[in-house]
Amino acid sequence: MRQAIVEYLRDLQDRICRGLEEVDGKARFREDLWDRPGGGGGRTRVLMNGGVFEKAGVNFSDVHGEFSEEFARQIPGEGRHFTAVGISLVLHPRSPMVPTVHANFRFLTKGEKEWFGGGADLTPYYPYREDVIHFHRVWKRVCERHAPVIDYRRLKEWCDEYFFLAHRGEARGVGGIFFDYLEGDIPRLFAFVREAGDAFLEAYVPIVERRRHEAYGERERMFQEFRRGRYVEFNLIYDRGTVFGLKTGGRTESILMSLPPVVRWLYDYHPEPGSREAELYEFLKPRDWANET
C-alpha cells in the first residue's frame, strides 16, 4: 500500500505541474532532485516570474529515518523510526485578483501507527463570492462521496481552526478542508486522498481563469503584499509541515519554497472602512460557503 501511495503522489506532482504550466503560459518549472541525510529525498519544482504565477512551488518528498527524542515525543506512535511521503504546493500569483492557494497530501508511519494528513485552502486578497463558493463546493463533493468515513463538515471546521493566526485574531484565508492523523481503514482513506488530489486543479484553475485579466494598480498590489505578510507569519509560526521538515533535517530551500517572493509589513495598518480591502476581512470569518447561493 505504501508503494502505491508513493507512486500516486509522484504522478500527482507531474500532473499538477503540467496543468499549472499550461495555465501560466509562459514559464516552466525548474526541478531540483535532492537527497536527505539520514534517508530518502525528493523532487522540488519551482516556477518563477511566469505569466500568471510570480512564484509557484510543487514539491514531492519520500523520506525516512529517526526522529530526535524530543520530536518523537510530540508524534503519535512508538519508537523513533518514521517514514513520510507527500506532495506539498503553494502558488503565489502575480495579480492580487487571483488568490494564493495551498494544498498538501501526505502519508506517515511511526512504529505501528500510520496515517494521512493534508487538505487545501484558499487565500484571496480581494473578495469574490463565486470563487470562494466554487472552491468549497469542489471539496464538499469530494468528501461526500467518501462519507461516512469522511465528514466534510469536520474537515471544513478543522481547516478554519488550523489556518488561524492566534496572535492576530484572524484567519489566514477563507479555508477549504484540512485533516491530520487520519487513520484506520487505510485503503478507504487512500481512495479519498486520491480523489482529493485529483480534484485540486478543478478547484483552483477556474478561479485563475476568471480573475487573471482583472485590472489592478499600485494600491491593490500593496494590499496583496501586506496580506502576504500574514501568510509568512503563519508558515513560520504555526505550519506543521514547516516544523516537521525543519525538525527532521529536510532540505531548507524546499521547506521554505512556500514563502512569497515579495512581502511588506505596514505598521498598524487598517483598511479604509467600506473599501474592498475592508470587505476581505468579512470573508475571513468562517461561513458555510459550500451551501451559499
CA geometry: angle at 115 spanning 110 and 117, to 5°?
120
Tell the residue number behind the cell numbers 513560520, with chain if given. 236
For the stretch 56-101, pLDDT in tens is 999 999 999 988 888 888 888 888 899 999 999 999 999 999 999 9
What is the average pLDDT value for the chain, to the nearest integer?
A: 95
Residue type, 22: E
Q: Is the pLDDT of residue 241 over 90?
A: no
* pLDDT range class, residue 170, cuts 50, 70, 90: very high
Catalytic residues: 102
- 243 or 64: whose pLDDT is higher? 64
Which CATH architecture group holds 2-291?
3-Layer(aba) Sandwich (3.40)
pTM of the model: 0.95
